[in-house]
């Protein structure tokens, strides 16, 4: 009943299938197993597959991810929600960003061997999940047929160093708040103290605990071999790509650069820019903006995936770039 009401509210088509949820442990090349939740159409048939890899807990993640996964499965997609290495129920040690290319590639190899795999696969992600999608794309052992990235980028240097200036608040809050195996609630962080502390090299410890990632970011203030090693290469054949960006999101500039690079690589790219910022909103108006983002995200993603993974006419038509202009609304 809730899902039907949500579909009507978002203007989405009726569901096609009930959803079966089952756990899986995906084995990697080095023997580590990654906890994965499979959401599949109840008919047991072979359907296109979407992979979403998260450090925030496939079961603990804010409802948007599971809501999206269930709506996609109801629409006829196999959806794999996976905890990345060393996070929540997955084995191994978490090293932010470092293992997403290899682990994503191993997971795609596993997916391609499953009896429910129909031969078409897409990568989806928001924020860190978006980077994980880009990373898997660059190393994928199987052809990728669709890429959807919202408020995220493949370029970590441009994300943490805006125009060469270190984004202290964003970097510190994420590096410490992500924790070691599970994310920490904001009430356990003394972020204000950490932001004011000098020298910066001690800010993570003052906020809550030392973060190897934060220390690495501080130690590399220019685009060097460290950052280039974390920049996923574009494949020779870029899949159709959907990028969803926010005017007030710190990922906007690098995401526009991703759009330009994908276009130069010959990709069929759709870009949507809305009046959104990163993270969960604290104000009532912010929550309304987040709800609008969820609606656009779900509508655009379903329409895009139906077009490129199911060869169906798109429910949403328009220009390759669509943006929300304050005072005027959506413009193409």
Which residues carry out catalysis? 127, 249, 278
Distance CA 241, CA 303 (A): 12
Cα angle 11, 12, 13 (rounded to 5 degrees) comes to 125
Q: Order of strands, edge to edge, in the sheet holding 117-126? A: 19-27, 33-41, 78-83, 47-54, 117-126, 146-150, 241-246, 269-274, 321-325, 329-331
Distance CA 291, CA 308 (A): 26
Distance CA 137, CA 152 (A): 14
Torsion of CA 192, 93, 110, 70, to 10 degrees: -30
Distance CA 55, CA 323 (A): 29
CB 270 within 8 A of CB 243: yes
Distance CA 90, CA 177 (A): 19
Distance CA 133, CA 138 (A): 9
Q: What are 48's two structure tokens?
A: 């296109």
Burial code (b: 16+ CB inside 10 Å, e: under 16) for 143-165 equals ebbbbbbbbbbbbbbbbbbeeee
């Amino acid at each position: 009943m809730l899902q039907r009401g949500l579909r009507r509210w978002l203007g989405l088509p009726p569901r096609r299938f009930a959803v079966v949820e089952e756990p899986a442990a995906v084995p990697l090349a080095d023997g580590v197993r990654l906890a994965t939740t499979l959401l599949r159409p109840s008919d047991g048939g072979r359907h296109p597959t979407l992979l979403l890899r998260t450090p925030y807990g496939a079961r603990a993640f804010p409802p948007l991810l599971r809501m999206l996964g269930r709506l996609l499965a109801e629409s006829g997609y196999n959806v794999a929600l996976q905890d990345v290495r060393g996070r929540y129920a997955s084995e191994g040690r978490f090293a932010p960003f470092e293992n997403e290319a290899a682990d994503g590639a191993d997971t795609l190899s596993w997916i391609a061997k499953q009896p429910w795999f129909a031969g078409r696969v897409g990568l989806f992600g928001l924020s860190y999940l978006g980077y994980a999608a880009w990373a898997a794309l660059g190393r994928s052992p199987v052809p990728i047929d669709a890429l959807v990235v919202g408020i995220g980028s493949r370029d970590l240097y441009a994300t943490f160093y805006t125009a060469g200036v270190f984004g202290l608040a964003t970097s510190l809050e994420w590096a410490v708040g992500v924790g070691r195996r599970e994310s920490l609630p904001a009430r356990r962080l003394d972020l204000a103290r950490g932001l004011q502390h000098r020298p910066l090299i001690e800010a993570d410890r003052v906020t809550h605990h030392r973060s190897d990632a934060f220390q690495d970011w501080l130690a590399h203030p220019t685009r060097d071999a460290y950052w280039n090693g974390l920049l996923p290469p574009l494949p020779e054949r870029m899949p159709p790509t959907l990028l969803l960006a926010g005017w007030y999101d710190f990922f906007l500039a690098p995401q526009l650069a991703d759009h330009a690079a994908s276009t130069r690589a010959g990709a069929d790219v759709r870009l949507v820019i809305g009046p959104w910022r990163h993270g969960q909103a604290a104000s009532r108006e912010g929550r309304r903006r987040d709800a609008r983002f969820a609606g656009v995200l779900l509508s655009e993603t379903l329409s895009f995936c139906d077009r490129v993974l199911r060869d169906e006419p798109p429910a949403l038509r328009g220009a390759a770039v669509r943006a929300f202009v304050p005072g005027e609304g959506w413009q193409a």
